[in-house]
Structure 1
Amino acid sequence: MDNFTAERKLVADACRVLAARDLAPGFLGHVSLRVDGERLLVRCRGPHERGLAWTTAEDIRLIGLDGSPGARGELDGWTAPHELPLHTAVLRRRPDVAAVVHAHPENVVAADLAGLAIRPIFGSFDIPGAHLAAGGVPVYPRGVLIRTAPLAREMTAALGDRPVVLLRGHGLTSVAADVPRAVLQALSVDRLARLALAVVSAGGVLRDLPPEDLAELPDLGPGLTDIAWRHELEAGGH
């Protein structure tokens, strides 16, 4: 039987990257990865919980979409996150998604509460982030713990077909076909929020990148994504 050794390490590394970049600086937040039609790997609460910065592959457990253990012993001594429905609702609704990141970045929460939408305010500074912002980042307006199926359906409805949704007074959810991309998207949104707060704090006015400049920003392709992910791992992800 496949124990998903590499996949567990990948999810654990993602948790550590989120912590290293202050998107999940404490013990709240979780990352999941779909492994087949009925099961996912997700960071769970373990017997020696220390927070995301110290996540190990052992903390990543195999769980069914219904919340049951994905294999014998998977939840012995571990507890699934309260917001497991957040993950499973996305995976059920979005067949294009394999990875779900839920984090609590303070910049994102503060910018949203200040009325600052995530907008394409920069260009080549972060090309994937500029394109993500230009496509729109929706907001789920309830600051609730997404621990029930009805609340999770509300959040996924707000997400729609977009890669990221902000959760007002809470954080964000980022979804993608793979774990690195889901994490990197969350980092881009945090960067956009942080710079928006800095511009406004300095007395400036937020302006979107002109359409003609946005059109000049190329798709950097998977090679740059791979480099960005390796950078994050070396910067503190493991």
Structure 2
Amino acid sequence: MTEPPASSELAPLRTLVAQACRVLAARGLADGILGHVSLRIDTHRLLVRCRGPQERGLAFTTDADIRLVDLDGQAGATGELDRGYAPPNELPLHTEVLRARPEVAAVVHAHPPDVVAADLAGLAIRPIVGAFDIPGARLAAGGIPTYPRGVLIRDRRLAADMVAAMGGRPVVLLRAHGLTSTGRGVEQAVLQAISIDRLARLSLRITGAGGTLTDLPPEDLAELPDLGASFTTATAWRHELARLDGVPAQEAGICGVSS
């Protein structure tokens, strides 16, 4: 039997989840105090952004806000939920995804206003762009389902309904609520949410200007290259962290590529 990771071994992962929360806030996907990020640790435990006695919102998340709990939201005698910390009310949103989909390691729940507005306006997230956002175009081309209830997903029954609506897709919109994004890592889950938000915002701008949304032609979609995870995830994530710190791209070690 594998030994559970020591608390010190979890420190870099707590930092990663905390950074993800701040990136979501910096991108406007999680204004205020709503939203959370989780990361699977093993078959029955996860790190999740919890609320503490001095809650200030996702933009001010620290490593101390990232706590280790089991799939039922319990910490046992570990002290992870001492000093007034508590898991989010919508913890089942995370845990039901992790229960149902073993390939998923990270879950992001955010409340992007443009995503909510576009959905309520009847605008589906579609592959309306090409090289402008290649990962986003591919994500949208696969279809973005919607969970049709604008409720707080605070129990396993509602969370199971959301998971069913998501199917095998990595992202699901939540009607009048926000979105849930999943991935094999925190970085992927956050970057997908950013792409969905970008597509929603463009859709609103295009239709607001009197334009019509048109999907990218299949032949153009087929021409979009796979730039690889080292670029689409690793480099993009370094950029998001650099934006948090206000560091110029060249100082962050981010290399450009020719298109």
Sort the TM-score into its range (normalised by shorter chain): over 0.9
Larger of the two Rg values belongs to structure: 2
Q: CA deviation at 1:173?
A: 0.1
Which residue matches 2:210? Answer: 203
Counterpart Cα distance in 2 of 1:237 and 1:29? 21
Which residue matches 1:234? Answer: 242
Question: Which consecutive unaligned segments of at least 5 residues does structure 2 have?
Answer: 247-259
- 1:27-42 correspondence runs (5 A): 27-42=33-48
**Is contact 1:16–1:237 with CA below 8 Å preserved after alignment?**
no
Structure 1 residues 126-135 or 69-78, which shifts more?
69-78
Q: CA deviation at 1:48?
A: 1.1
Structure 1 residues 216-225 or 68-77, which shifts more?
68-77
**Is contact 1:14–1:237 with CA below 8 Å preserved after alignment?**
no
Aligned residue-pair number:
238
Counterpart Cα distance in 1 of 2:245 and 2:69? 24
Question: What secondary structure does 1:173 align onto?
Answer: strand
Q: Which amino acid aligns with 2:206?
A: V
- 1:40-79 correspondence runs (5 A): 40-69=46-75, 72-76=78-82, 77-79=84-86
Question: What secondary structure does 2:191 align onto?
Answer: helix
- 1:160 matches 2:167: yes
Alignment identity in percent?
70
Question: What secondary structure does 2:69 align onto?
Answer: strand
Q: CA deviation at 1:140?
A: 0.1
Tell me: CA distance 1:233–1:208, structure 2 relative to 1, closer, same or farther (3 Å): same
- Which aligned segments of 4 or more residues in structure 1 are displaced greater than 3 angstroms? none
Question: What secondary structure does 1:101 align onto?
Answer: strand
Counterpart Cα distance in 1 of 2:96 and 2:171? 14
Q: Which amino acid aligns with 1:25?
A: D
Note the aligned Cα RMSD (angstroms).
1.1
Q: CA deviation at 1:71?
A: 5.5
Question: What secondary structure does 1:165 align onto?
Answer: strand
- 1:82 matches 2:82: no
Q: Which amino acid aligns with 1:215?
A: A
Counterpart Cα distance in 2 of 1:99 and 1:159? 15
Higher RCO (CA-CA < 8 Å; seq separation 6+):
1
Which residue matches 1:170? Answer: 177
Q: Which amino acid aligns with 2:6?
A: D
Counterpart Cα distance in 2 of 1:185 and 1:113? 20
Q: CA deviation at 1:67?
A: 1.3
Counterpart Cα distance in 2 of 1:186 and 1:236? 17
Structure 1 residues 158-167 or 1-10, which shifts more?
1-10
Pick the aligned partner of 2:220 from 213, 223, 236. Answer: 213
Which residue matches 1:6? Answer: 12
Q: CA deviation at 1:166?
A: 0.1
Question: What secondary structure does 2:33 align onto?
Answer: coil
Q: CA deviation at 1:196?
A: 0.3
Q: Which amino acid aligns with 1:65?
A: L
Q: CA deviation at 1:124?
A: 0.2
